[in-house]
Amino acid sequence: MTRQYELVERVLSYQPTADEALLNRAYVYAMKAHGNQKRASGAPFFSHPLEVAAILAEMRLDDATIATALLHDTIEDTDTTRGEIDALFGREIGTLVDGLTKIKKLDLVTKKAEQAENFRKLLLAISSDIRVLLVKLADRLHNMRTLGAMKPAKRKIIAEETMDIYAPLAGRMGMQWLREELEGHAFKALNPEAFATVVERLAILRERNQGLIDEIASALTAKLKETKVAGFVSGREKKPYAIWSKMERKQISLEQLSDIYAFRIVVPEVEDCYRALSVVHTTWHAVPGRFKDYISNPKQNDYQSIHTTIIGPRHQRVELQIRTERMHSVADYGVAAHTLYKDSNGALGPEGVVGSQDSNAYRWLRHLVGMLLDGDNPEEFLEHTKLELFQDQVFCFTPKGRLIALPRGANPIDFAYAVHTGIGNTCVGAKINGRPMPLVTELRNGDEVEIICSKAQLPPSAWQSLAVTGKARSAIRRATRDAVRAQYGKLGREILVRAFQRREKTFSEESLAAALGRLSQKTAEDVMAAVGRGELGSADVVRAVFPEEKPQEPPKRRRKVQRNDEGWFGLRKVMGLKFRWPGSGERTCEHGPSGIPIRGLRGDLPVSFAAGGAVPGDRIVGILTPGQGITIYPIHAEALKAFDEEPERWIDVTWDIDEDNPQRFPAKISLTVLNEPGSLAQVATVIGEANGNIDNIKMTNSVPDYTEMLIDLEVWDLKHLNDIIAGLRAKDVVSRAARAGA
């Protein structure tokens, strides 16, 4: 266990102005507060905060962070209060300790909804001061180092939480060494057999390639020295979890991996990186497709380096990383390497972190917190965050040269939403490197992507399954919800306008606003959407707006059936609409307010058609179904009998055909056809030549000589449908043809 004076001396070695008295005071206070408490291993509990402080001292963090590490368990595990910490150590340290206490109470491996909500709280806690995250990661690292003392069930929970949340978060913050160690401990706990197998195979490979790392490092060093490029070379072996995950991902054996051994060339300046690269590539053969320049295009966690793979000594594939000393520090320690915690005067900067705006990793964290305020539900937020945590990146460009970083596997849909949500919502196509390409095309590093937009476009809900990034999926869901809400809102408005007209009143949103309290709604838009969804009756709204007036008598319905040339038709008085058939059989209607205009399935109202369909030329009525909008029936449909006792669901509707943009409408016909070869072909030919579209066919053999067909069609209007039926009746193979399903 680290001693008090050792910890203080370590901090003073890199921060000579550190408050030595503060560190000593925090050490003594925490030791007394924890007293005789023991850890699961039997060690004194105080050894844990002390080791956490030592880890942070290795990362060269400031005295306030070290003091916070010593005190981080006092509020949670002792009788200490937040007020005592504030009084003894100042509000800054009190806030940090309190943030860590709240994080410790979170459960990040429970059911999805709870996990998502707790993850939101975690990011909110660490976003106000990045030091909260650094202490938490050090705390988790020491817990993972001592995980063997925990019971198996608890060990599994902690390891899963580490693998799912804390290791990726450390990587996203640029702290690669910490991520690798956390993953290693979690891998060993979660899959001990796989861990042991990889370690054993690595030992065999290490024995077989004995001296290889030193030989390659010496060859690289000698070549750099020969060309007068300053720098030092180091080699390392890939970690067991990284090897295992790559073997799983690529479905290959350990021997097939080309980057088990990786080498770093660390040089003083950026210019030296490219000089070293030139030396390497002119001395050994480069492996095609294995070059990445993260100096020119840094990763979002601030990582910078040149990656290349060569065929080096012993004809061995060698992965090289070339970077400056500063880049090397950031690659290992991430946000902790920026030394942003104290300025020259010793004062804290905004958000508790001086210069945090210069850190891409910290900006990413702030961006996530910004998303919390946009109203996404917890599950969507967790989905988006985990995608960004785990995915590697590709770098693409807009036509104007703006760099867009995306997860590997992303497509133009993701690119469009990464540029701007409005661009994504109006996207209709894309050009990749000047060529029109499908929106599902996987993007590659260096692609130039041009998004083609249309103001008339709304993102199809099916795009959710095509998008890779959480941001795109979340935006598509939000746009879909908004579009559906707008449809229901417009339908509700149409219904209310006509309800007000029947009472000889003028509809206005201001009149609704005055009755919001009585309707238990927040806005007029909420009222109209609720009416459109069928959750709120139009009569209830009218009564709420005009409570002083007497309720109107519900319309009396009159049902009469008479026979004419087209069959049986019900005469109904529906919400003020009266149908009558003169003696000639011609139908006309008398009504007060006009019906709600219906343009079909692609209109801007939530409309569907009954099983038998309906086409322009039919008299139609709408039935309002809660949560589904309006279902359109022909007025003679027998299915309408089921709604005779629910007059509040009957909606007056009328066709509103756009002559410039004709649409097909659904209809169903029933045929009895001779059961002989070619019958179906003749039926299809008649329909095709009449410019009808067959959507579905169902065939049954009712008798040996005849086949019953039920055909779903798409036609322009009633005349078009009748022409098709007449054409079918003219065929010798057709015994009977009639409209069905109405």
453-495 per-position pLDDT tens digit: 998 888 988 898 899 887 888 889 888 888 888 888 888 888 8
Which is nearest to 219 in space by CA: 201, 202, 233?
233
Task: Assess whether pLDDT exceeds 60 at residue 216.
Answer: yes
Token look-up 């925990």 returns 150
Task: Assess whether pLDDT exceeds 60 at residue 106.
Answer: no
DSSP states of 116-176: HHHHHHHHHHHHS-HHHHHHHHHHHHHHHHTGGGS-HHHHHHHHHHIIIIIHHHHHHTT-H
Active site residues: 76-77
Please write the tens of the pLDDT for every residue from 605-621.
788 888 888 888 888 88
Please write the tens of the pLDDT for every residue from 236-286.
888 899 888 888 877 777 767 766 788 899 999 999 999 999 999 998 889
Highest mean pLDDT (candidates 111-120, 166-175, 180-189, 346-355): 180-189
Stretch 582-594: mean pLDDT: 39
Does 507 or 553 have the greater pLDDT score?
507
User: Confidence band (pLDDT; 50, 70, 90) for 428?
Assistant: very high
Kindly report the CATH class assigned to 4-190: mainly alpha
The token pair that represents 598 in the structure block: 């219906």
The token pair that represents 255 in the structure block: 């021997």
HEC string of 246-308 equals HHHHHCCCHHHCCCCEEEEEEECCHHHHHHHHHHHHHHCEECCCCCEECCCCCCCCCCCCEEE
Q: Where, residue-wise, is CATH 3.30.460.10 in the chain?
A: 196-337
CB-CB contact of 467 with 475 (8 Å): no
Give the per-residue pLDDT at 580.
34
What sign does the dihedral 173-177-181-183 (CA atoms) show?
A: positive
Stretch 90-110: mean pLDDT: 76
CB-CB contact of 149 with 39 (8 Å): yes
Stretch 556-572: mean pLDDT: 37
The whole-chain average pLDDT of the chain stands at 80
Stretch 193-199: mean pLDDT: 92
Does 588 or 2 have the greater pLDDT score?
2
Which is nearest to 82 in space by CA: 60, 109, 101?
101
CA 571 to chain centre: 52
The long-range contacts involving 533-538, CB below 8 angstroms and separated by at least 24 positions, are: 533/488, 533/492, 533/626, 533/627, 533/629, 534/624, 534/625, 534/626, 534/627, 534/628, 534/649, 535/626, 535/627, 537/648, 538/495, 538/496, 538/498, 538/499, 538/648
User: Confidence band (pLDDT; 50, 70, 90) for 648?
Assistant: confident
- CATH number of the domain located at residue range(s) 196-337 in this protein: 3.30.460.10
- What gap in Å lies between CA 219 and CA 214, rounded to an integer? 9
- What gap in Å lies between CA 190 and CA 363, rounded to an integer? 32
Does 390 or 662 have the greater pLDDT score?
662
Please write the tens of the pLDDT for every residue from 7-44.
999 999 989 999 999 999 999 999 999 999 998 888 89
CB-CB contact of 229 with 273 (8 Å): no
Give the per-residue pLDDT at 490.
84
Highest mean pLDDT (candidates 112-121, 368-377, 468-477): 468-477
User: How many other CB atoms are there within 10 angstroms of residue 113's CB atom?
Assistant: 12
Give the per-residue pLDDT at 121.
63
**Helix residue spans in 605-717 (DSSP H):** 679-689
Q: Where, residue-wise, is CATH 3.30.70.260 in the chain?
A: 665-739
Highest mean pLDDT (candidates 5-14, 311-320, 496-505): 5-14
In which element (H, E) is residue 482 found?
helix 470-502
- What gap in Å lies between CA 632 and CA 548, rounded to an integer? 35
CB-CB contact of 708 with 740 (8 Å): no
Lowest mean pLDDT, pick from 147-156, 168-177, 324-333, 559-568: 559-568
What does each C-alpha distance from 283 to 220, 280, 346 come to in angstroms?
Answer: 10, 5, 49
CB-CB contact of 487 with 464 (8 Å): no
- What gap in Å lies between CA 135 and CA 129, rounded to an integer? 11
The token pair that represents 301 in the structure block: 């966690």
Percentage of the chain lying above the pLDDT 70 cut: 81
Which is nearest to 657 in space by CA: 584, 600, 715, 735?
600
Furthest CA-CA distance within the chain: 109
User: Confidence band (pLDDT; 50, 70, 90) for 555?
Assistant: low
Give the per-residue pLDDT at 728.
94
Using a 10 angstrom Cβ sphere, with 0-12 exposed, 13-18 middle and 19 or more buried, the burial of residue 311 is middle
Task: Assess whether pLDDT exceeds 80 at residue 141.
Answer: yes
Determine whether domain 665-739 maps to CATH 3.30.70.260: yes
Give the per-residue pLDDT at 34.
92
User: Confidence band (pLDDT; 50, 70, 90) for 600?
Assistant: low
CB neighbour list of residue 526: distance below 8 Å, 6 or more residues apart: none
Using a 10 angstrom Cβ sphere, with 0-12 exposed, 13-18 middle and 19 or more buried, the burial of residue 540 is middle
Give the per-residue pLDDT at 575.
35
CB-CB contact of 318 with 312 (8 Å): yes
3-state secondary structure of 481: helix
What does each C-alpha distance from 308 to 228, 294, 311, 468 come to in angstroms?
Answer: 21, 11, 10, 27
- What gap in Å lies between CA 691 and CA 723, rounded to an integer? 10
Please write the tens of the pLDDT for every residue from 674-720.
988 899 999 999 999 999 999 899 988 777 788 999 999 999 989 99
The token pair that represents 297 in the structure block: 């295009």
Sheet architecture: strand order including 693-703:
693-703, 706-715, 665-674, 734-739
Q: Where, residue-wise, is CATH 1.10.3210.10 in the chain?
A: 4-190
DSSP states of 402-467: -EEEEETT--HHHHHHHH-HHHHHTEEEEEETTEEE-TTPPP-TT-BEEEEE-TT----TTHHHH-
